[in-house]
Each structure stands twice: as structure tokens, then as C-alpha cells.
Amino acid sequence: MASLTEIFGQGNNAYFSNGPITRLSFLRLQYDLLDKASTHASAKYLTFEELNPLRTTDGNLAFLGYNDVADAIGRPYEKNEKAQIAEFDPAAHHPTLIFLGLDLQPSDDTPAVLGSYSGVPYFALDVTGGHYTTFKGSIASSGHKFSPTRVDLTLSHPESAIYSHARSFLDWNSRNRFCSSCGGRTLSTHGGAKVVCPPADQGVPRQRACSTRVGLHNQAFPRTDPTVVIAPISADAKRVLLGRGKRWPENYFSCLSGFVEPGESLETATRREAYEETGVRIDRVQLHSSQPWPYPSTMLIGAMGQCVEGGEDITYPETELEEARWFELGEVEHALNNGANAMWHPPIKGYVGPRVPPAQLMAHQVLKGVLRLFHK
């Protein structure tokens, strides 16, 4: 019996996803349960300052308990959503708190029982700003630090998924403090997964009627921006095209990539980006796998695309790349096995071939997918 795993390899395993937390997104509406979860002895809080997570001295994520944050946040779910919207005060502090979900198979803690679910609740909390000065003072002696990083590939796979989920939701909340339709202050609801534009401030109706309060609107929900990560394959399936960006280190190559535009399928975007960046003409596109990318909320979609006969000429219609080059599949295999690391690190000692991204990155995975299918 044929299986997808036999044909395409082990999937569902992208870095930044597939962690220990089950979101149970329908619980976001049940503030009585969220109140119980957020104050439970097993609850774990991951705090962020300027989108940098609190980390232990050995670089792991530092999770705090409710007691550590209680003075700073109170009981954010004590009142239900309807009451919070009705009593909204734009001048008051509203904690940016995200209910991430439950670890349904915790190893040690006594789990919280929430309706028919039992598990350890996880929350993400934004502690940026003056309101949290006392809190930050109280954790100073722990040695935990908010360490700034641009792209973080150092976390364990399970922690990378929690970090990615938390960071993207906090970032989205921080960009949506004001209504995109009327400019009024918004209130974060649904356990941090929706912002609403309240109709009144301290009971005084807002002057301007806001279009987000009538009809169906989804601009108030977190979004994710699709980007295709492309491995163009030659018509004879013997070579892969890799590109090098203008500010990349010498000899560092990766897949092509670009944002999917409105009105494009992923396949159309794959063909367009490959053509615009290099001039190659792709016919058949096959999607490989996907990966959330928390900077700030991108969805990477790995795609391979085979060139039409004679479509391999590199002409650079746009001038975004420094260089694009066809590589034999054997060369790519050697590079993935021996020369793969992040571009901001020095080359691997003793390796002189083309450098490529490490296994945590989609480009590495889609190239492995190409080899699996065509490099026999």
C-alpha cells in the first residue's frame, strides 16, 4: 500500500509549529473557564518585552506562574466579554494576554480541569511599558532575561512552536490597538484572538459610527501572510535553481521566495516570483509543506516547480537577486549534508561548496523534498 510518507517523507514537523499545546480555540469565548485557567496553580505564563521572550540563563523559555504576574494583571477574565466591552475605558490598562491553549499531556503539574478538558494552561503576556516596572523588578533576581534576537533558531522544537504562536499573536495585538476603520481604541477579546471596537467609552457612545460594528468583518482577527519558498527544477529534473540575495554572504544560496499577492493562487505566485526574480519559466507546481514564520506572521509555503522545455535561461527581469545559479542535484545533497547553517554564522569549518540554510528553514526542507523525488 502506497503512503504519503513513503512518497514525500515525514511531514507535519516544521520548526516553529507542531508543539505541545492544543489551542482549543472554542474555549476563548468561555471567560469563566479562562478565568479558572489563568489563575490555576499549573498555569504557565510566557512574558515578552518588545516581542522578546523571557529566557533562562541557559537560553530556554522561562515560564512564570500566576502568582508572579497577579499583581500586574489582576484577573483579566473575571468579567465576561460582553461586560468588558460595555464598560470599556480607553484610558485604563488592559493587559495584552493571549490564551495559547492547554498541554493535554503534562508531565508533572496537576492539570486544570476546564469543562471536559484537563491540562496545563499556557498564556502569553506582553509586559512592555511602564505598567510592568514593578513586575520586572520582581523577576530581576531570577537571572531570567528578555534577550533580543532577530530570528531565533536556538530553541528546542517544542519551545519554538510555543514562542512562534505567542510572538505572532502579541505582535498582531500590538499593531491593532486602534481600530483600522474609525481610529478608536480597541479592546482585545477572545483570549487575545480578536480585537473589537467598543461602541462606547466609559458608557459615552463614540461619536463616529464604526463600520466594524455592522455586518461581517474579519479584519479584527489575526492574519497570516502567505509567502512561497520556491525550488525551481530543470525540465529534465536533474538540476535545481538557487538564488543569492544582494546583502547575503558570499557563496550562500537558498530557494527563491516572495509574497503571494491578492488574486493569485499559490501556484501562480510560484510561477510569477520565479520568473520575475530569475527569468525561468515554470510549468507544473507541486506544493511541498508549510511553516509558520513568526516575523511577524508569515506562512511559508514550500513549492517545487518544473521548468518548461527550454525555460531555464536566467535573465533577471527584476534586479532583486545578486545571482541565481543552477546546481546539480548531487551538489545540493552535498551542501544540505555538509554546508547548511544560518547565514549570520560563519561557514562550517573545512566546507568550501555552496552554503545553504539549516534544517529549521523551509528552503532546506523543500530542497530535501526535491532530492527525495528526483535524486535516486
Q: Which residue in 170, 210, 241, 256 binds Zn ion (CB under 5 A)? A: 210
The span from the CA of 6 to the CA of 1, in Å, is 10
Q: Of residues 18, 154, 174, 181, which one binds Zn ion by CB under 5 A?
A: 181
User: Which helix H or strand E contains 52, and what residues bound it?
Assistant: strand 52-55
Cβ of residue 222: shortest distance to Zn ion, in angstroms?
A: 17
How many C-alpha atoms does 253 have within 13 Å on its Cβ side? Answer: 22
Shortest Cβ 91–Zn ion spacing (Å): 17
Q: How many helices (H) and strands (E) does the chain have?
A: 9, 17
**Nearer of residues 179 and 193 to Zn ion, judged by Cβ:** 179
Q: Which amino acid is at 4?
A: L
- The amino acid at 170: L
Work out how close the CB of 85 gets to Zn ion at its nearest, in angstroms, rounded to a whole number. Answer: 12
Report residue 53 as a C-alpha cell.
521572550
In contact, 299 and 225? CB cutoff 8 Å: yes
Q: Do the bridges between strand 44-49 and strand 117-126 make them parallel or antiparallel, or are there none, so unpaired?
A: parallel
Say if CB 45 and CB 66 are below 8 A apart: yes
Q: Is 220 in the site for Zn ion (CB under 5 A)?
A: no
Question: Whose Cβ is closer to Zn ion: residue 179's or residue 329's?
Answer: 179
Contact pick of 46, 112, 114, 179 for Zn ion (by CB under 5 A): 179
Rounded CA separation 117/142 (Å):
33
Report 102-161 residues binding Zn ion (CB under 5 A). none
Q: How many CB atoms lie within 10 A of CB 231?
A: 28
Q: Which is nearer to Zn ion, 198 or 294 (CB)?
A: 198
166 binds Zn ion (CB under 5 A): no
Residue closer to Zn ion, measured from CB, 181 or 341:
181
Number of residues binding to Zn ion, judged by CB under 5 A:
7
Amino acid letter, 208: R
196 belongs to the binding site for Zn ion (CB under 5 A): no
CA distance 106 to 187: 32
CB 204 to Zn ion: min, Å? 15
Closest to Zn ion by CB, 53 vs 184, is 184
Determine how many CB atoms are found less than 10 A away from the CB of residue 89: 13
What are the cell numbers at 149? 534576537
At its nearest, how many Å lie between Zn ion and the CB of residue 216?
Answer: 15
Please name the amino acid found at residue 89: D
Q: Which stretch binds Zn ion (CB under 5 A): 65-73, 160-168, 174-182, 281-289?
A: 174-182
Compute the distance between CA of residue 300 and CA of residue 303 in angstroms, rounded to an integer. Answer: 10
Out of 182, 266, 299, 373, point to the residue binding Zn ion (CB under 5 A): 182
Residue 197 in contact with Zn ion, rule: CB under 5 A:
yes
- The answer to whether 162 contacts Zn ion (rule: CB under 5 A) is no
Of 154 and 180, which CB lies nearer to Zn ion in the complex structure? Answer: 180
Cβ closest to Zn ion, residue 17 vs residue 181? 181
Contact 278, 305 (CB under 8 A): no
How far apart are CB 174 and Zn ion at their closest, in Å? 18
Interaction between residue 176 and Zn ion (CB under 5 A): no
For Zn ion, the binding residues (CB under 5 A) are 179, 181-182, 184, 197, 210, 212
